[in-house]
């Protein structure tokens, strides 16, 4: 299944995404991280199934080191969620899909329900 997602390569694109979408999920990874590559489709499916109004974006740490540094992302994979422009969740390296879903459910429901 193909999931709807975008790439953020610059700070300008990142800022625009936060302004245009009430719920933003940003997945920081690189092609050299096997764990992150394997986890990405599972995370996309979770967003698609449980949080359909949230916009998924991918940031390649190797291609956009300034964006990663600005958000203090130094390990892969790292996820950041933003609701109404505010960072509400940060997870790095080891996290389960259940843990991620539980952490995102409340802020998502506050915004969209």
The per-residue pLDDT for range 45-87, each reduced to its tens digit, is: 999 999 999 999 999 999 999 999 999 999 999 999 999 999 9
The answer as to whether 63 is a domain residue is: yes
Find the length of the chain.
Answer: 113
pLDDT at 3 over 80: no
pLDDT at 46: 95
The per-residue pLDDT for 38 is: 86
* Overall average pLDDT of the 88-112 stretch: 93
Indicate whether 113 belongs to any domain: no
Query: 31, 62 in Cβ contact below 8 A?
Result: yes
Q: Chain-wide mean pLDDT for the chain?
A: 92
* DSSP bridge partners of 81: 25, 89
Domain-embedded: residue 12: yes
Give the global pTM.
0.92
How many whole angstroms separate alpha carbon 39 and alpha carbon 82?
20
Q: What is the pLDDT of residue 5?
A: 79
CATH number for the domain including 45? 3.40.30.10
> In this structure, is residue 94 part of a structural domain?
yes
């Amino acid at each position: 299944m193909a999931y709807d997602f975008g790439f953020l390569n610059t700070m300008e694109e990142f800022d625009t995404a936060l302004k245009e979408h009430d719920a933003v999920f940003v997945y920081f990874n690189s092609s050299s991280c096997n764990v992150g590559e394997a986890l990405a489709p599972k995370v996309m499916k979770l967003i698609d199934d449980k949080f359909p109004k949230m916009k998924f974006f991918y940031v390649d740490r190797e291609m956009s080191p300034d964006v990663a540094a600005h958000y203090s992302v130094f390990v892969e994979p790292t996820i950041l969620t933003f609701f109404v422009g505010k960072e509400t969740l940060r997870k790095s390296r080891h996290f389960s899909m259940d843990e991620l879903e539980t952490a995102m459910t409340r802020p998502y429901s506050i915004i969209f329900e």
